Structure 1
């Protein structure tokens, strides 16, 4: 019975979201329509900020920032391991919630809590690895990839059978944001000898993203 329900759910998602007989060229053809849609730009901007404060931040700057504060590479890697492991329940939970609550509100909460954890980080990063840094890794890990399910869900609801195509382009914004902040982190470290300011900038970006996702143009209707 459960297996049949799962197969039914997969068929429902496939029928609703996958355009039959689509081609690779359609991805670029669809982009012409996406760029005229304000909702597309709002989601892309927010998801760009997501990439800026995850891939471009933690996976590029955390270890060098930690070593500058006296934390060993091994300990920094263990903390990132915790972040990676907590991605799993965080993303699953976000996926479950995105089917049951307002996706804009869910994204705003995720961005706000991620931002709060980043603002907290510079005050504890100079300490030996203890419960504070472990707690940060747990909290950040839960919200690290949690934006993906509600964003995919929004793309499917707003763009229908073009939802997967829309998300593919919105994911480009994610990677652009990641690249920009990875560069910014290196620049700040080069100019100041520390990553201290970067965490506040990243936290501020998250708070701005929390406001952006509540924009009326970011509607799931």
Structure 2
């Protein structure tokens, strides 16, 4: 059966399909925090700022793990790293049913799940597409990025329903089981490199063996050291930090509690956030298609500017029922949610060559630092002011600033070597 599939389609598409399923399995826990804030607050009496701190640790490690995971995939292979990451997600989610203190919440929800999901973050997407695809790379990046949104779409309404009908513990066990179920599929079908099968990457004509990698930590830190000397890295990292603050950190974590503050039921709010995931699938795939055809700097500038405008309008759209204006926001914001990923990955390849995936891991780390800061800051704003309005306004202005950072990448595009080892490599690096 497997041999027949390989004869009919290039194995790159099978690898992409398995990666997509793995991303969905990990996305279950990514969807969990926003529907658990109030249940945990009601059961344990923890302040929202305390629970948000655990979310912040999760988001921070989700980002900081990514570049090391990308380097570990170079060293030990995609399959081993992804399988181990899914086991960590399952353990971190399942063991929360036994927790009694906020420290345990931070350890399980923050550390274990943060490291596990971070190992399957967008650096994983960049690694798969960089190894297996030459043609359709932008499109496949968009599709795999949408895997997280698909997981959110699948899990959010289910988790909200389980919490409402049973308890948050039931929801945690469902997420743990979903992550664990994907492990056998990864071990069976996910392959590390096309040369393992004696084939070129999709769209290539020659079989290129993998370059032996040194220590994962040394490779990741070396990529950061060299990239941090370039102007492009800081512009990309700054824009992506704001991207994280305005998506995972603020909307992903606090949209449901904010809607609940205005009288909307948590199940209804979770369904709206799931719709963001639905429209995100279309938006991210479309962004991948556009990235293959248009300048990524223009795309990023447009995405961030439109996102900023929509966030400035959001406080006026909340209510106890879903109005047409809120549906329009959900549609628009969903299309823009992670549409920034394909052009950012493309720019990392353009500027940083064959270390683009590892450098993107560090750019993604900035995304999650922004998300962590926003998750905690919004919780503090809510505790101190009694509403989230200030958080939405600040996020909107920051997003407009990110548009400016993206357009600044147009300056000084002359090519220079990223590092001595990169000289003459494809995709030599402009500063």
Q: TM-score over 0.5 for the alignment?
A: yes
Residue 76 of structure 1: aligned partner:
269
Give 1:167-186 correspondences, 5 Å limit: 167-186=360-379
In the aligned structure 2, how far is the partner of 1:183 from the partner of 1:99?
36
In the aligned structure 2, how far is the partner of 1:171 from the partner of 1:218?
23
CA shift in 2, pair 1:218/1:184, >3 Å: farther
CA contact (8 A) 1:118 1:203 kept: yes
CA contact (8 A) 1:111 1:207 kept: yes
In the aligned structure 2, how far is the partner of 1:95 from the partner of 1:151?
10
Q: What SS class does the counterpart of residue 214 from structure 1 fall into?
A: helix
In the aligned structure 2, how far is the partner of 1:218 from the partner of 1:47?
20
Structure index of larger Rg: 2
Q: Deviations over 1:133-161 (max 9, x none)?
A: 11111110110010000000000011110
CA shift in 2, pair 1:218/1:106, >3 Å: farther
CA shift in 2, pair 1:83/1:152, >3 Å: same
Residue 118 of structure 1: aligned partner:
311
Residue 253 of structure 2: aligned partner:
60
Give 1:85-164 correspondences, 5 Å limit: 85-126=278-319, 128-164=321-357
Q: C-alpha displacement at 1:46, in angstroms?
A: 0.5
Alignment equivalent of 2:391, drawn from 177, 195, 198? 198
Q: C-alpha displacement at 1:11, in angstroms?
A: 4.0
Q: Does 1 or 2 have the higher relative contact order (CA < 8 Å, sep 6+)?
A: 1
- Match status 1:187 vs 2:380: yes
In the aligned structure 1, how far is the partner of 2:332 from the partner of 2:412?
26
Q: What SS class does the counterpart of residue 197 from structure 1 fall into?
A: helix
Alignment equivalent of 1:21, drawn from 212, 221, 227? 212
Q: C-alpha displacement at 1:127, in angstroms?
A: 5.4
In the aligned structure 2, how far is the partner of 1:210 from the partner of 1:202?
13
- Any stretches of 5+ residues in structure 1 without a counterpart? none
Residue 207 of structure 1: aligned partner:
400
Residue 241 of structure 2: aligned partner:
48
- CA-based RMSD of the aligned residues comes to 2.3
In the aligned structure 2, how far is the partner of 1:217 from the partner of 1:86?
33
- Any stretches of 5+ residues in structure 2 without a counterpart? 1-7, 14-132, 136-200, 414-428
Q: C-alpha displacement at 1:126, in angstroms?
A: 2.6
CA contact (8 A) 1:19 1:162 kept: no
CA shift in 2, pair 1:26/1:175, >3 Å: same
Q: What SS class does the counterpart of residue 89 from structure 1 fall into?
A: helix
CA shift in 2, pair 1:31/1:217, >3 Å: farther
Q: Deviations over 1:163-189 (max 9, x none)?
A: 001100111000000000111101111
Q: Deviations over 1:22-56 (max 9, x none)?
A: 24131122211011111111100100010000000
CA contact (8 A) 1:19 1:161 kept: no
In the aligned structure 1, how far is the partner of 2:412 from the partner of 2:377?
28
CA shift in 2, pair 1:8/1:61, >3 Å: closer
In the aligned structure 1, how far is the partner of 2:307 from the partner of 2:202?
34
CA shift in 2, pair 1:106/1:194, >3 Å: same
Q: Which moved more, 1:120-129 or 1:202-211?
A: 120-129
In the aligned structure 2, how far is the partner of 1:39 from the partner of 1:130?
42
CA shift in 2, pair 1:92/1:62, >3 Å: same
CA contact (8 A) 1:42 1:218 kept: no
The TM-score, its normalising length taken from structure 2, stands at 0.48
